[in-house]
Amino acid sequence: MMILGLESWVLARPEIFLAAATALLLIYGVVRGEVATPFVSVMTSVVLLVTAVLLFMPYREGTAFASLFIVDRLTTTMKALVLVGSAIAILMSRAYFEQVKAWRFEYPLLVALATLGMMLMISANDLMALYVGLELQSLALYVIAAFQRDSVRSTEAGVKYFVLGSVASGMLLFGASLIYGFCGGTAFVQISRALLDGKGAEIGTTIGLVFVVAGLAFKVSAVPFHMWTPDVYEGAPTPVTALFAVAPKIAAMSLLVSVLMGPFKPLFVQWQQIIVVASVLSMALGAFAALRQQNIKRLMAYSSIGNVGYVLLGLASGSEKGIEAVVFYLAIYLVMTLGVFATILMMKRRDVMLENISDLGGLARNQPMMAFAMLIFMFSLAGIPPLAGFWGKLYIFIAAVEAKLYIPAVLGVLASVVASYYYLRIVKVMYFDEPAEALDRPVFGINRAVALVAAFLVAVFSLLPQPLSLIAAAAAKGLFP
């Protein structure tokens, strides 16, 4: 038993390190007060990156804590993406919050706690462990959505996210209780065994699965549980929106893959229908609802809904190639989205933050490097070959076609064509519209560095997608022994 306990602690060492380091930084911040904010923010980012390194040094697989916690290639890869996204989001936040006089040490620590919850979600091997991780993430995110307390928009975003998020959590718990009642356990292994023994034929199990999927669909902003996304993206402080757009989505999507392709794989025929419908509706809404948006954060909200639709299509294929495409797409999406939000955070005129697409008018003449980076991100998000976003969508559609999901794949291609309009409209505004007044020239800082590095990585992935594809294939292989 002692050896088993030691093995559990070793497998969970990244999470333990992150929790302990966050607690120590919290104590330091409380003792030192607001003067600790710069140190705490930098150290929190360092802690997150060190945690990412601990995932692989040394790399080990297995289950821990009475099989509540699992570590494999998929969970490790997804955790690495979440940790990198959260660390960069913290670094991108400082200039914004200092300008609005809301930079406090609690912010990076709340992000770290949310990230810890995401890691627990990703490694959950039991419905209760899943819920604990989900709520740890959600409670921290509710607070940072309303972190700019003097802003009515930020407060409104926090309240909306909290109320709707609580409803989603209740739906998930209700579904989990039904599954527990009909399958006789909450552990994924128990559920899988019960379904293989014929429990999946009972209507209560299917209804429970629907409620669980609905709760997780809220977290990834899939239609019809997307209603919070545009308002929260627009109202929350821009660095918080950048975080929402990457880390929580990747974590929730990883959890959705693990749940559906793990214990509920025997119910593939039932849940595939739900995922296909959510995928098609998300792609359609993301394409058409963004066409008339003037606020770039709101546009990115609908863009994220559309991107979730493509990822769900890969999941709906239920194949190894489909899950490989999901991991590949999420990695590309992380880089593209961080680059876009780094550029949005540099949209200032006389030190006033701007959010309208029209404010980018004439950017190519005043700041050609910033405009070129944004062009790369927009073309990639639109799926224009040979950029990285094109490869991501291509892999998704190939997996869907091989799974005989012909109609959803065709609808996805058409939605991608429609969505290209609003991505290309931003390029047109930057390169062909007359500027009302030039944007402030950004000093070389974190946001500019993130935008340039992200543009470089998109270019690299465009020319050399194979290394990332091999990583995605290794991550997906664990689900198909």
pLDDT tens-digit readout, 115-134 = 999 999 999 888 988 999 99
DSSP, res 124: B
Which run of H or E residues covers position 69? strand 69-71
Is residue 179 in a domain? no
Give how many domains the chain has, as a whole number. 1
In a domain, 11, yes or no: no
| Cβ contact 305:215 at 8 Å | no
Its pTM stands at 0.91
45: which residues sit within 8 A by CB, 6+ positions away? 87, 88, 90, 91, 108
pLDDT for the residue 281: 94
Q: Strand 352-353 and strand 69-71: pairing?
A: unpaired
Range of the domain at 362: 277-481
Q: What pLDDT does residue 200 have?
A: 63
- Of 242, 241, 222, 219, the closest CA to residue 232 belongs to 241
User: Which pLDDT score, from 0 to 100, does residue 3 have?
Assistant: 42
In eight-state DSSP terms, residue 199 is G
User: Which runs of consecutive H residues, i.e. helices, occur in 184-237?
Assistant: 188-196, 203-220, 229-235
| Residues in the chain, pLDDT under 50 | 1-4
Task: Look at residue 263 and tell me if it is in a domain.
Answer: no
Residue 32 in any domain: the answer is: no
Give 387's contacts (C-beta < 8 A, 6+ positions apart).
Answer: 376, 379, 380, 458, 459, 462
Query: What's the confidence (pLDDT) of residue 441?
Result: 67
Q: Would 120 be classed as within a structural domain?
A: no
- Give domain status of residue 389, yes or no: yes
341 within a domain of the structure (yes/no): yes
pLDDT at 2 (0 to 100): 37
Listed in sequence order, the DSSP H helices in 345-465 are 363-366, 368-382, 388-402, 406-432, 446-463
Q: What is the pLDDT of residue 442?
A: 64
Assess if residue 412 is contained within a domain. yes
